[in-house]
Structure 1
Amino acid sequence: MDDCSLQELTEEKLVVFVAATTGQGDDPANMKTFFQTLWNKRSNRNLLKDMYYGVLGLGDSSYQKFNFAAKRLNKLIQILGAKPIINIGLADDQHELGPDFIIDKWVKELFEILLNLYPLPSGLQPITEYFLPPPKYHIKFVESESLDVQSNVENNPKPSDAFSRTNEIEMKISSITKNLRKTSVDHFQDVRLIEFDVTSLSYSHNPGDILTIQPQNLDEYVEEFIECLGLERHLKFYIFSGTNNFKPSPLLPQPCTVEQCVKCYFDIQCVPKRHFFELLSHFTTDENEKEKFLEFASAEGQEEMFNYCTRPKRSILEALADFPFTKNNIPFEYLFNLIPPIKPRDYSIASSCKTIPGRAQILMAVVNYKTILKRPRLGLCSNWLARLELGSLVYIGIKKGTLLFPDSKSECPPVVMIAPGTGCAPFRSYIQERIAFDNSDNLILIFGCRGKDKDYFFKEEWEYLSEKKKLLLFCAFSRDQEDKIYIQHVMKDNYQELWKYIGNANCKIYYAGNAKRIPIDVYEALQYICEKALNLSTKEAEAYMKKNIDKRYQTESWA
């Protein structure tokens, strides 16, 4: 949106806005300037009086400020005089059918309205729903060039390589300096402390910042994909586009081998979306397969697609293998339409550059779980990283996170940090930084895990600081006794002690961890503390939370 000037916007008669929400209800990076420009003009109630518009929000209901950016934009545009042609759409990533559950209905209604407002000229018809678009890129194979196979498929990028993921984040080469398992060997989950050399990055990280990592596909999946589609792994190609300013992805050297493309670019482990099956319907030679693809691509077939793909987490690789009359008929250039590129993964930095200069650590659970499918589901980035040896080279970058902590150098208000499992990562960074500045007053950590001897991350650090009176520590070990004890139980049991800090109007409260039920339980525990400490009714405590706690409570959660 930032590419659209105010002058251009005021000249438009019809605009459709699509706005995601990030962090604590924040605007996405490419909308901030746009929104601020409009906000500065809010006194002009006729600025957009000639414009009709619609707003579609992309959000996640596990966050308190669900679709806040879209709601805020929608309200501001109305204030400026624009007229909505459709109610705001609020897509939810947490819905079992995904955001498409809302998007489908909203887009269908939007096009019906638009065709009524702006009928097509005589003789023209809307593009059919299952129209085959042209390929995103053009491919030119180079069979005659000599090929250094090893240099094109090597697992580690060259140290000189660097690229910009967005306008904000520069990705550079880093080496792994630590890769340690932090759970006991008999624990069901492998959690790793991985350390990276960040001396090549110009930006020094702060507490709450994020390490962005560009992963690659696992070798066995690369082999399986190449065999499944019958690709020639060592064939070289150049990639082109019709646009003048086109630059190939830095993950695709020019020329690139098919094998390198599959390994470093195609996200063959992601769960396919509707568009995937819509495209496949054009390439199959079997009517039964075509019928199934069209069912999955239709709005009516979303429950079937959910049961086939989303519920069992079936990957693109596995889906292709299920359709023998299609997989070998896909033109290579259309794979770039079918398969999204591998996205960088974000991890909270778990260390302070003041304590460990030149290094950044992450605390990472290695994703490995079962569904109804025979093969375990393996997280792409976590399993790839866990297998890397010390000295392996990885593309990384650093960006600002959503948790905003008080300045570590100055006198700080109470800071209450609530962390189940690996959620303690950003809090360790902040605690380390506070300790480095000899400023350890009013640090409170509420940590939860399964067992004191299983997955009690940074046990020695926390307990040493607690013993030295530099950290007030509360722990919940859910499986160490017959009755399960979670962090919300510890919070309620210690409400009087916690109220000494939470009752301070300047106290900052943070939650980082799982996005499912725990944030709700933690919020209810905070409300319980207010209710008990102030002798309030449940309704009064709810009102107190909204007025006094919500504005100083931040969360960072993930599914």
Structure 2
Amino acid sequence: MSVPASLPPRSAIVLYGTETGTAQDLAAEIARYLERGHFALVDVLPLDSVSFKLLASYELTVFVVATTGQGEFPSNARKFWTSLLRKKLGPATLQGVRFALVGLGSSSYPRFNWAARKLAKRVKMLGAEQVGEACECDELADGSTERAFEDWLGPFGKEVLQRWPPLAAGEEEAAPGHGCDGGQRGGEISKWILQRLDETESPLLPSTTGNDDVQGGSNAADSFEATLECNDRVTPASHWQDVRFLRLSTSAPVDYHPGDSLAIQPENMAADVDHLLSLMDWQPVADIPVVLMPNPAYDKPRSRVFHLSSPLPDISGGASSTNPTTHTTTLRQLLTSHLDITAIPRRSFFSQLARFTTNAMQKERLLEFANPEFLDEYYDYATRPRRSILEVLQEFDSVKLPWREVCSVISALRPRQFSISIVKYRTILRKMREGVCTRYLANLAVGSKLPKIIIHTAFSRDQKAKVYVQDRLREHAEELGGLLLHDPSAVVVVCGASGQMPKAVRLALVDALRRARRAEAEQFLARMESEGRYRQETWS
């Protein structure tokens, strides 16, 4: 493989596609693993921030890709995927590229890990060689994503050691804190740090390279401000779920369609932010202007093409250190709007915390939570009770995070997606459109006779004998099967919590189709999926 002079010969790149941040966390963990003696340089970037032409510059490429929706790629991986589908690309386009694959998904969806499987198939068609077995993480499996990832990491590590033995000391320039002795998982130095504005010459840093194969990763162009016109709770105050109806208005038309979702960027509560500032003794620097910059102590010589994936692209000006146009902010603003201080911590978080305590007992406990051998203890402590980062820092009171490194320890606060209910909207022609049924109902006078709408309900908590959706489907199996088979406009929409419900509903539909004398029930549902007539929107 031809390696440009700007990259050391032992280089790897870890590319991720994510909606919730899990794939990004795993990508960072893989990078730390590879840096411990195997590779002199490991870049971590979102898929859409690179061109596939860049892959040939690296000894190893690792894809970490989540599947979203109906077997689709995450929003920060779709441009990369589309670029691989060009018809003019030949079977030798990626010849010499060696790749490993980690897929994330939920088996509650029929197209489980579809994005990762499609990516592997396509890059192989273009000449790439796969290293080791693919990892398919299922969030519904026993042990969830973490256990599947750890089960894969061991064999993958052996394959890497076989192909790329650990570098001898001094053989290649290694990043500080990442020698051949392994070190603690989580690394010993942060790649990005906060600096006070008065410590820098300017908040606008010069670009270090003119490489066109790396683009910025911020989605700020897709963002807009909206005015909240209505915020009504639609469930009774006594109900366990707080379901909201929000009406938003924007200064300019926003193009959206049925089935789209709106991502809302939340903020942490001021009381939580103040509490964390107090816990960490950060009050003196809370409101001083700061900038997020690549850590000079970690950075490679500037003569090399070196891409450090920014933990906060919107603050640092892009996805990587090749475009470090840094914005000024404050520590308080970062904790309020950009860092997820109430998230459930990943295991790597505990490894990071262990660096910042002098209490031997607490350090030992933190490292146990980071150790895959104690995965059940980690689940019992963090995942099952949904203990937050803020609560962990309260309990491990000897930990004092340096404020400069907080962006490398606490993950980004990500937008939360909600379904859009379309009632009235403007088209690109600026003409008002209304849903047919909405307009029809809005113009009906009191006393009008309405056509019958058949609704069957299933309440699982209102009585002792639980009744589920799949029970109602089986009660009306013959009618349902006939409707699906003979009415091309019939659509199935499964909406609710992920887990057993979507699987049970699908099985009930298969049974209904079999009663309607359709032997190929599964194939029929698969065809409905491809036609957009069977859709799932579930969440965990």
Partner of 1:526: 509
Residue 192 of structure 2 aligns with an amino acid whose one-letter code is: K
| 1:276 has 2:349 as partner | yes
Deviations 1:215-261 (A, max 9, x none): 11123322322222222165313113139998974699965444333
Among 195, 198, 202, the alignment partner of 1:139 is 195
Partner SS for 1:238 = strand
Which residue of structure 2 aligns with residue 341 of structure 1?
412
Question: Counterpart of 2:466?
Answer: 484
RMSD of the alignment, in Å? 3.8
Question: Relative to structure 1, is the Cα distance of residues 33 and 265 closer, same or farther in structure 2, using a 3 angstrom cutoff?
Answer: closer
Assess, with a 3 A threshold, how the Cα gap between structure 1 residues 41 and 260 changes in structure 2: closer, same or farther.
closer
Q: 1:433 aligns with which of 432, 435, 445?
A: 435
Matched, 1:218 2:269: yes
Flag the 1:486–1:115 CA change in 2: closer, same or farther, 3 A.
closer
Which secondary structure does the structure 2 equivalent of 1:503 belong to?
helix
For the pair 1:330 / 2:411, whether they are aligned, the reply is no
Letter in 1 for 2:257: N
CA contact (8 A) 2:94 2:127 kept: yes
Within the candidate set 98, 105, 108, 1:59 is matched to 105
CA shift in 2, pair 1:471/1:207, >3 Å:
farther
CA–CA separation in structure 1 for the residues paired with 2:482 and 2:501: 23
Change (3 A) 1:123 1:205: closer
The equivalences for 1:203-352 within 5 A come to: 203-232=254-283, 235-242=287-294, 249=314, 256-326=329-399, 329-352=400-423
Equivalent residues in 2 for 1:12-51 (5 A)? 14-40=60-86, 44-51=90-97
The letter of the residue matching 2:537 is: E
* Alpha-carbon distance, 1:549 to partner: 4.2
1:494 shift after superposition: 2.4
Offset of 1:68 from its aligned partner? 0.7
Q: Is 2:251 aligned against 1:200?
A: yes
Question: Could you say which residue in structure 2 is the equivalent of 1:509?
Answer: 492
Instruction: State the distance in 1 between where 2:409 and 2:162 align.
Output: 33
2: CA distance between counterparts of 1:23 and 1:465? 42
Structure 1 partner of 2:33: none
Do the aligned partners of 1:141 and 1:235 also contact (CA within 8 Å) in 2?
A: no
The 1:123/1:499 distance shift into structure 2, 3 A limit, reads closer
Spell out the pairing of 1:346-365 with structure 2 (5 A cutoff).
346-354=417-425
Instruction: Name the SS of the counterpart of 1:91 in structure 2.
Output: strand
CA contact (8 A) 1:176 1:194 kept: yes
Matches within 5 A, 1:432-471: 433-436=435-438, 468-469=450-451, 471=453
Question: Aligned equivalents of 1:521 and 1:27: distance in 2?
Answer: 25
What one-letter code is carried by the residue in structure 2 that aligns with 1:527?
V
Distance 1:72 1:84 in 2: 14
Counterpart secondary structure, 1:99: helix
Q: Partner residue of 1:172?
A: 224
SS at match of 1:266: coil
Q: Which moved more, 1:237-246 or 1:107-116?
A: 237-246
Please give the alpha-carbon distance, in whole angstroms, between the structure 1 residues aligned to 2:416 and 2:385: 22
Return the offset for 1:113. 2.0
Partner of 2:202: none
**Conserved 8 A contact 1:206-1:353:** no
Letter in 2 for 1:495: A
User: Which is further off, 545-554 or 20-29?
Assistant: 545-554
Is 345-354 or 487-496 further displaced after alignment?
A: 487-496
**Structure 2 residues not aligned, in runs of 5+:** 1-46, 171-178, 200-215, 296-301, 318-325, 428-432
Change in 2 beyond 3 A, CA 1:167/1:469: same
After TM superposition, give the deviation of residue 142 of structure 1 in Å: 6.3
Distance in 2 (CA, whole Å) between partners of 1:436 and 1:182 is 19
In the TM superposition, what whole-angstrom CA distance separates every residue of 1:77-111 from its partner, at most 9, and x where no partner exists?
Answer: 33334332201111223345442222233334333
Q: Are 2:182 and 1:128 aligned? A: yes
Provide the secondary structure at the position in 1 that maps to 2:457. Answer: strand
SS in 1 for 2:290: strand
Which amino acid in 2 is paired with 1:267?
D
In the TM superposition, what is the alpha-carbon distance from 1:556 to its structure 2 partner? 1.0
How big is the shift at 1:320?
A: 0.6
In structure 2, give the amino acid aligned to 1:489: D
Instruction: Write the distance in 2 (CA, Å) between the matches of 1:251 and 1:194.
Output: 32
For 2:155 and 2:365, locate their aligned partners in 1 and report how far apart those are by CA, in whole Å.
Answer: 25
Tell me which amino acid in the other structure corresponds to 2:436.
R
Alpha-carbon spacing, 1:465–1:215, altered in 2? closer, same or farther (3 Å): farther
Distance 1:36 1:213, change over 3 A: closer
Q: Which amino acid aligns with 1:504?
A: H
Local SS of the residue matching 1:62: coil
Rate the CA distance shift 1:466–1:13 in 2: closer, same or farther, 3 A: farther
More strand by share: 1
Measured in 2, the distance between the counterparts of 1:205 and 1:45 equals 38
Distance 2:447 2:461 in 1: 25
What whole-Å deviation, never above 9, does each CA across 1:127-150 have from its counterpart, x for those lacking one? 62413123522321769xxxxxxx
Contact 2:191 2:294 in 1 (8 A): no
Fraction of identical pairs, as percent: 28
Tell whether the 8 Å contact from 2:48 to 2:217 is kept in structure 1 after alignment.
Answer: no
Structure 1 window deviating more from structure 2 (171-180 vs 217-226): it is 217-226
Residue 150 of structure 1 is matched in structure 2 by none
Q: Deviations over 1:20-50 (max 9, x none)?
A: 2121001234444443444445994454443
Q: SS of the counterpart of 1:54?
A: strand
Q: C-alpha distance in 2, partners of 1:298/1:508?
A: 47
Change in CA separation of 1:481 and 1:289 when aligned onto 2, cut-off 3 Å = closer
| Counterparts of residues 404-415 of structure 1 (less than 5 Å) | none
> C-alpha displacement at 1:330, in angstroms?
1.9
Look up the SS of the partner of 2:496 in the other structure. strand
Conserved? CA contact 1:206–1:352, under 8 Å: no
CA distance in 1, matches of 2:234, 2:253: 30
Compared with structure 1, are the counterparts of its residues 482 and 289 closer, same or farther at alpha carbon in structure 2 (3 Å cutoff)?
A: closer
SS of equivalent to 1:512: strand
**1:470–1:223: structure 2 CA closer, same or farther, 3 Å change rule?**
farther
Rounded Cα–Cα distance in structure 2 between residues aligned with 1:525 and 1:466: 37
CA gap of 1:518–1:41, structure 2 versus 1, over 3 A, is: same
2:66 and 2:73 in contact (8 A); partners too: yes
Secondary structure at 2:455's aligned position in 1? strand
| Greater displacement, 73-82 / 33-42 | 33-42
Any conservation in 1 of the 2:316–2:327 contact (CA below 8 Å)?
Answer: no
In the TM superposition, residue 119 of structure 1 has moved relative to its aligned partner by 2.8
Secondary structure (helix, strand or coil) at the match of 1:555 reads strand
Q: 1:117 — aligned with what?
A: 163
1:99 and 1:483, CA in 2 relative to 1: closer, same or farther beyond 3 A?
A: closer
Q: Name 1:498's counterpart in structure 2.
A: 480
Query: What do residues 312-358 of structure 1 show as CA deviations (whole Å, max 9, x unaligned)?
Result: 111111101111221xx32111221221121111100123234xx79
